[in-house]
Chains A and B, each alone.
Chain A
Amino acid sequence: MKFIRTKAVALFLLFFSISPSFAKTEIHWWYGNSGFLGDVIIEIAKRFNESQDDIVVIPTGKGSYEDNLSATIAAYRAGDHPHYTQVYDAGAAIMVAQVKNGVVIGFEEMGEKYGIDVNADNYIPQVKNFYADADGKMIGVPFNSSTCIMYANMDILKKVGVDVPTTYEEFEEIAQKIKDAGYIPLVQSHDPWIWTENFFSRHNLLMTDGNNGFDDVPTKTLFSETPEFITHWTKVKEWHDKGWYAYKGRGWGDNQAPFNAGEAAFWFGSSGSFGGIKDLPINFTTNQIPYWSSITGGKAYPTFIGGAANWILNGHTEEEYAALAKFIKFMGSPEMDLYYHNTTGYTVVTKGGGQLAETINFYRTSPYHKTAPEQLNLEGATIPGGYRAGNWPQIREVIYENFPKILTGELSVEEAMKRTDEGASKLLAQFAKTL
């Protein structure tokens, strides 16, 4: 008899431990971060799931940004797509173009329907503009937004007896000293993002026609038509020849490795790289990316954001979207924004997060986090806060196929730029056909 009762109790418990999960609304969130950043995403979902009882967010990592975008598209075509997916900067044009096809639900539209206070002005301008459509309506939900910044190894600088440069002119003055001391003066991790796209934004120059694609569908990139850009890469080639700049292939990590090992004085990377290197035994600071004072007349302009946004995909139930709205609200809260900023080094995306940081004096204890938001909030830019160019992932490939040839001397700077422009024009035309 006792045995039966135990069994009954066990069954009863089993029933109740299972049944609530049937009632919960499942939200699938796919992402393209791995390693440390992937862990943080899992942590965010966990915190949300623990904060309430009705909704379960299930994060699934698909590898890299590129992997996640192609996985999302394949899933969409098969009718088995997630509710929420992370798509990176270069894929923004592809996703924004999908609103009219009913694949993507715009952030503002979602907000109106499910009562999220979107208020585009609550986002810092560079973030707001990057994932908005031509009318300035926000489409992507801002998430991990970084920008390229300069990491400086202070031990090396101290040893050599020089300061952190703010302009490339200043860098040129100290580079030889660093090299003579036996260090690599400069490494950087991303030709297209750092030294192409963000060269243009940092110097307030247009990168494509059609006002960076915000006014008209772009037909060409302006690389070979921009003398400032040609000058910059002529300098880069010069630095490479002098041993002031070392290029380690196109791998992000391969270029970062000398900095991590304490062999390079400066590394241009993402502000989102901070979380991954903060515990390394090197004494470093974060600084704004340098600019040519001769080009801007001594003024610094904001860079574009990099990283990714989350996008809401169509084709699920009302109930699920209401649940997703709650999750979006949770993630957009100042506390979560600051939590993510603090853990990863990605910038705060909301003004609320920024204010919270001020209120609690966050930057006094973590001054290194301040670099990216400060750089992004610089004022006075006349170009749009992003670019809207299709097939951009492939245009980046064209850049990778031509720019390294400048360094090896196989192509002159002008010729490399011309070939890149030609390749890009074809790809832009190919994309324009599908609009």
Chain B
Amino acid sequence: MKKVQFKSKYTQYIFLAPTLIIISIFLYLPIVQTFRDAFTTQDAFGFGRFFAGWDNFKFVLSDPSYLVALKFTFIYIFVITVISCSLGLLLAVQANKVIHGKSAYKTLLIWPYAIAPAVVGVTAQYFFSERFGILYALFNSLWGFDWTANIFDAYIYLFIAGSWKQISANFIFFLAGLQTIQKSVIEASLIDCRSSLRRFWTITFPLLMPTTFFLVIINITYGFFDTFGIIDTTTIGAPSGETKTLVYKAYIDGFRGLDLGAAGAQSIIMMLLVLTITIIQFRYIERRIHYN
């Protein structure tokens, strides 16, 4: 095999430069700054700055509302992942079977994915407003739904809003996953087994595992980092701070409270959490996945 190589040793760096510069400015530099902030005490304008050691971390971890946010983040991630993965999979399998108007179904199901989280929140507001929300009225007549006073109701509000968008994301990837499964495998299974449900669980689903694994990680990352828009436009933590996620709490402390030290410490804790979870997943779960 013939190797293609650059003549000069430096040419490749020129090609890499644009990406490297962008990544350094928008990724590495902020990370360095976050670390610096997390170990510093300073006022809002950056004065009165001194090295604080672990003070900010101690401050954050002793804050009762931080632990509430931690709990809610995990609940949110778990519920959203389960709901949106299962519904996304169901829709993808059904859409894959459709023969007429396939692309119309696909397009309609993918649409919500293109919507920004904040817009999802505003849309959800229309459904859950006490004054004109259809779902508010429906749930309220069923069991006295009131998300401003009841934690469970506030959860429902956010779960519906959050999973609505995520279903689309999961749907696309599952659909793409389904289409990569070789026709011959499916046809062979058709001869061996009559039950379509059994065929799905024994042939299709295992072959979709790489996609599922990927989506679980994507959903966890979403739950950790991408919930700000949706919460800020819906509950703002209602009834009393129970529906704040970690990233929302970091925003409140950093940009509303102007305490960059505490916000920096929270970012680092969050990073460590995500890192740990991802490592566990790759180490213990990925081994069992069969890539074809």
Contacts and interface: CB of A to CB of B under 8 A. Distances in A.
A associates with B: yes
A274 interface: no
Contacts of A76: 45
B65 interface: yes
A70 B235 CA distance: 22
Interface string B238-263: 11110000000000110111110010
A254 B256 CA distance: 21
A156 interface: no
Contacts of A407: 149
Given A69-B258, A248-B148, A403-B240, A397 B252 contact: yes
Interface string A413-433: 000000100010011001101
Contact of B258 (A70, A419, A433): A70
A405 B241 CA distance: 10
A434 interface: yes
Interface stretch (A95-103, A195-203, A227-235, A337-345): A95-103
B255 A400 contact: no
A73 interface: yes
A200 to B, nearest CB: 21
Contacts of A435: 43, 48
Given A400-B241, A426-B63, A77 B256 contact: no
B177 interface: no
B291 interface: no
Given A70-B255, A400-B241, A434-B47, A247 B149 contact: yes
A391 B257 contact: yes
Interface in A89-107: 94, 97-98, 101, 103
Interface in B28-44: 41-44
B149 A257 contact: no
Interface size class of B (residues with CB under 8 A): 20 to 34
B256 A249 contact: no
A426 B43 contact: no
A334 to B, nearest CB: 34
B240 A433 contact: no
A66 interface: yes
Contacts of A364: none
A401 interface: yes
B206 interface: no
B149 A434 contact: no
B216 to A, nearest CB: 31
Interface in A249-284: 249-251, 254, 257, 261
Contact of A404 (B64, B131, B240, B257): B240
B46 interface: yes
Nearest to A248: B148
A433 B45 contact: no
Contacts of A427: 257
A402 interface: yes
Contacts of A398: 65
A430 B262 contact: yes
B130 interface: yes
Nearest to A73: B44
A404 B46 CA distance: 34
A393 interface: yes
B257 A257 contact: no
A21 interface: no
B219 to A, nearest CB: 28
A408 interface: yes
Interface size class of A (residues with CB under 8 A): 35 or more
Interface string B130-152: 11000000000000000111100
Contact of B43 (A248, A397, A434): A434
B64 A394 contact: no
B54 interface: no
A54 to B, nearest CB: 31
A423 B67 CA distance: 14
B170 to A, nearest CB: 31
B269 interface: no
B256 A397 contact: yes
Nearest to A258: B131
B282 interface: no
B238 A401 contact: no
B59 interface: yes
Given A251-B236, A394-B259, A397-B257, A98 B148 contact: no
A155 to B, nearest CB: 20
Interface string B62-101: 1111000000000000000000000000000000000000
Contact of A247 (B64, B65, B148, B235): B148
B210 interface: no
Given A250-B236, A426-B59, A393 B43 contact: no
Interface string A351-376: 00000000000000000000000000
Nearest to A103: B45
A97 B43 CA distance: 9
Contacts of A402: 240
A419 B148 contact: no
B259 A430 contact: yes
A394 B149 contact: no
A434 B257 contact: no
Nearest to A401: B241
B112 interface: no
Given A73-B44, A248-B130, A434-B47, A408 B59 contact: no
Contacts of B46: 77
A393 B149 contact: no
B229 interface: no
A247 B150 CA distance: 12
Interface in B207-234: none
Interface centre among B59, B130, B147, B148, by most chain A C-beta atoms within 10 angstroms, is B148
B149 A408 contact: yes
A111 B62 CA distance: 46
Contacts of B236: 250-251
Can you list the 10 inter-chain pairs with the closest CB atoms, starting with the nearest?
A249-B148, A394-B257, A401-B241, A434-B48, A434-B43, A404-B240, A101-B47, A70-B255, A249-B238, A401-B240
Interface of A: 66, 69-70, 73, 76-77, 94, 97-98, 101, 103, 247-251, 254, 257, 261, 391, 393-394, 397-398, 400-405, 407-408, 419, 423, 426-427, 430-431, 433-435
10 contacts: A77-B46, A248-B130, A257-B131, A397-B257, A401-B237, A404-B149, A404-B238, A405-B239, A426-B62, A434-B41
Given A98-B45, A250-B148, A404-B149, 12 more contacts: A70-B256, A70-B258, A98-B47, A248-B148, A249-B149, A251-B236, A254-B148, A257-B131, A401-B237, A404-B239, A430-B41, A434-B48
